[in-house]
Structure 1
Amino acid sequence: MAGYPKKDIKNGTYYFVLEAGKNPNGTRKRLKRTGFKTLREAKAEMAELTLAIKNGDFLRENKMSLSQYLDYWLDNYARTNTKPKTFAEYEKMVKNHLKLSLGGIMLHELRSIHLQSYYKDKLKVLSAQTITHHHRLLSKALNDAVDWEFLIKNPAKGAKPPKPVKMEMNTLNVEQLNMLLATARERTPIYYPVIFAAAHTGMRKSELMGLTWKNVNFKAQRFYIRQTITEANGTYFFNQIPKNEKPRGVKLTAELAKLVLHLKNEHDDRKNALGEAFNEHDLVFCNSKGNIMAPSEITRALKRALRAAHLPDIRFHDLRHSHATILLQENVHPKIVSARLGHSKIQVTMDTYSHITDSIEGIAVDYLNDLLK
């Protein structure tokens, strides 16, 4: 079982060869491990593998590439243990990125340095947050490879993905928001209602897409969020909230209540004219054919309205941030804002909008200056 790490003069990495008994035909079984960045890493791996062979814990070589293993993992774990949308996202990540860059490496030869190089290369075209998602998938998949005895240890543990950069929050003030809504009404009438509703409720795009007429209470003037609609790989997923969870209710502004009532009357007229096939999912916000509004189309409609109004470029999600920011600036209690946004805890709201709550504290101090002598 003698051996010692050596340096590969071609690429500067280290490798070692160990003897691990004999093959079924009587020839000596030799194990080669390559791709170590430092001599120290090679020695550590060699010591661990040597001990595994001595203790009889060595996992016999498999001829499975990482590409083949990821397919196996998707089929044997992810397909039955994750939500359909999550599985679709995993499948897309594996197909479009991981298999193309790392798939040709044999599973037992995969090293932390391979993953580290992958993260570095991908950072040229993907965000640090996206690469972190790739790292999490690899970590889980390779942990399962250890549990299933394909690997002795998980090489993802030694790889460090880039630290995600917190996305800057861009918001519109009251004047800008009103200008946007007036422009959207004129330039993109089909998508105007969903943009209007986002500004007036702070609801997420997926929540607005999934809102159905049976979850609109005109008497109480509330939306009740019982499902979301999300998209992955061109497929739409209807995500129901658990039955034991209370649906979030969002109080409507007077103007939004008027708009929704107008939409309902218009919807009923078209339903009567076109039949039950129109808007089969009973959606409040649907396209002109009664189908689900594509997330990309909603975003494009928003961008058109922003450009036409000569306003700063923002994401659809920033309408939610704008809604919350305006309320906090008007001294609405953060608990109320948190409830409207559907945050699990008020601390989430406080942390997300800390730049606003800091300025609100300044207003509070000004009050105290006037009251206390």
Structure 2
Amino acid sequence: MKGSFKKESKREGHTWMFRVDIGLDERGVRRQATRRGFKTRKEAEEACNQIIHQVSKGTYVEPTKCTLGTYLLDWIESTAKQRVRLKTYDSYKYIIDNKLIPELGNIPLDKLTPMHIQNFYAKKSAEGLSAEYVKHMHVILSSSLDQAVSWKLIRSNPVKITSPPKISHKEQKTWSIEEAKIFLTHTEQHPLHIAYLLAIYTGMRMGEILGLRWEDCDLENKMIRIRQGLSCTSEGTIFEDPKSKASRRAIAITENIVDALEKRQREQKRNKNWLGQAYKENNLVVCTKKGTPIGPSNLRRHFWSTIEKAGVPRIRFHDTRHTHATIMLTLGEHPKVVSERLGHSKTSITLDVYSHVMKSIQEDAAKNFSNAFQTAT
């Protein structure tokens, strides 16, 4: 199946159109899809190939009959799945199946209005969904309908003139240095102690810790390099490259972390010798006694169990990352250094997330400045 392409002339310039067979109607008459207004032949070819793909799968629906639900199901499989990480695809698919389609799925694609979408946001907010979650749905709708505009299925994207709820940054829950030390004391004899040390002393994400390999640890130069992370997806546990250049970073570590890593190496060596061929070599720093990856849910369960035993405030595992950043900023470390350790793409992100800490630091700085002037002779 191939399309035919033609350059068309208009007063404002040339555009491209295509026509492609989409099968026979109930009378046996050949049906064709025609699209116009593409700036380049390449754009027309991409749109044509998409229709051919839909026809071959039996999912093609003429724009006037296509509902938002039908379109979203095709978009997530034919387009989004090829562009995003598997874990992101899983998140998109869940939201499309369980949030967007039940509420908006029956609306014809070309009849979807900003009011439909704005009312949907208001309803979901009233039902208790967070502003972050509604914004996530907004991003999916906007991205998918941008594609529909590119394919000439709709003239404009109605999401562009809607307003999702404003996200207000809440003050992060963190531990003090004393609370972090109490927690770490309760894990000293447990194999997962190294995971908690890395979280609190480096600000690494859980997936980065569970995906850390020995080849990424330069103990001689006291440096850890983030080169992969562990993710749980619909296809099982997988290892993925960092999602951005900033996330693929090097983190300096101190002598006590080097000592803890060397101790962990000795523990693993004993396990290997004990289990022999039964040991599964994945070269992971944090793993089971058999060498297999540890799932995030198992790490969380032990983390919360230890919190109860230690008697420290209950926080999420991700909040150990906030603890690391908050302590560093409070101790006077430059925000750019903290940003680089966390793997933020911009220092402004760090300043925004930890604005409450920066406010306190600014107040202290103002007092110090004033005291310096008053005591000067």
User: Do they superpose with TM above 0.5?
Assistant: yes
Distance (Å, rounded) in 2 between the aligned partners of 1:179 and 1:161:
41
Pairwise CA distance, 1:262: 1.3
Q: 1:102 to 1:307 in 2, by over 3 A?
A: same
Distance (Å, rounded) in 2 between the aligned partners of 1:119 and 1:268:
54
Pairwise CA distance, 1:179: 0.9
> Which deviates the most, 278-287 or 222-231?
278-287
Q: 1:342 to 1:151 in 2, by over 3 A?
A: closer
Alignment-derived partner of residue 298 in structure 1: 299
Pairwise CA distance, 1:311: 1.9
Distance (Å, rounded) in 2 between the aligned partners of 1:111 and 1:65:
13
TM-score (norm 2): 0.74
Q: 1:116 to 1:233 in 2, by over 3 A?
A: farther
Q: 1:370 to 1:215 in 2, by over 3 A?
A: farther
Structure 1 unaligned residues grouped into runs of 5+: 1-24, 26-59
Alignment-derived partner of residue 260 in structure 1: 261
Pairwise CA distance, 1:313: 1.9
User: What do the CA deviations read for 1:94-114 (whole angstroms, capped 9, x no partner)?
Assistant: 123222332233323322232
Alignment-derived partner of residue 63 in structure 1: 65
Pairwise CA distance, 1:73: 0.8
Alignment-derived partner of residue 321 in structure 1: 322
TM-score (norm 1): 0.75
User: What do the CA deviations read for 1:260-299 (whole angstroms, capped 9, x no partner)?
Assistant: 1111111122234434663443211123443322222222
SS of 1:184 mapped into structure 2: coil
Alignment-derived partner of residue 141 in structure 1: 144
- Within 5 Å, which residues of 2 pair with 1:1-373? 62-123=64-125, 124-185=127-188, 189-233=190-234, 235-241=236-242, 247-275=248-276, 278-361=279-362, 362-363=364-365, 364-365=368-369, 368-369=372-373, 372-373=376-377
Pairwise CA distance, 1:208: 0.9
User: What do the CA deviations read for 1:330-368 (whole angstroms, capped 9, x no partner)?
Assistant: 233434333322333444333333333343342442663
Q: 1:326 to 1:367 in 2, by over 3 A?
A: farther
Distance (Å, rounded) in 2 between the aligned partners of 1:244 and 1:114:
38
Number of matched pairs: 315
Q: 1:154 to 1:358 in 2, by over 3 A?
A: closer
> Which deviates the most, 93-102 or 270-279?
270-279
Distance (Å, rounded) in 2 between the aligned partners of 1:243 and 1:341:
12
Q: 1:94 to 1:242 in 2, by over 3 A?
A: closer
Aligned-partner residue type, residue 365 of structure 1: F
Judge conservation of contact 1:210–1:238 (CA < 8 Å) in 2.
yes
SS of 2:187 mapped into structure 1: helix
Judge conservation of contact 1:146–1:154 (CA < 8 Å) in 2.
yes
User: What do the CA deviations read for 1:31-90 (whole angstroms, capped 9, x no partner)?
Assistant: xxxxxxxxxxxxxxxxxxxxxxxxxxxxx7532222211111112211222233322322
Judge conservation of contact 1:135–1:156 (CA < 8 Å) in 2.
yes
Q: 1:102 to 1:335 in 2, by over 3 A?
A: closer
User: What do the CA deviations read for 1:133-156 (whole angstroms, capped 9, x no partner)?
Assistant: 111111111121122122233222
Judge conservation of contact 2:171–2:356 (CA < 8 Å) in 1.
no
Distance (Å, rounded) in 2 between the aligned partners of 1:279 and 1:130:
38
Pairwise CA distance, 1:236: 3.1
Judge conservation of contact 1:89–1:233 (CA < 8 Å) in 2.
no
- What value does the CA root-mean-square deviation take over the aligned residues? 3.0
Distance (Å, rounded) in 2 between the aligned partners of 1:305 and 1:266:
21
Pairwise CA distance, 1:194: 0.9
Aligned-partner residue type, residue 138 of structure 1: L
Judge conservation of contact 1:173–1:326 (CA < 8 Å) in 2.
yes
Percent identity, please: 33
Judge conservation of contact 1:85–1:237 (CA < 8 Å) in 2.
no
User: What do the CA deviations read for 1:157-213 (whole angstroms, capped 9, x no partner)?
Assistant: 343221123133111111111111122346xx2433212221111111121122101
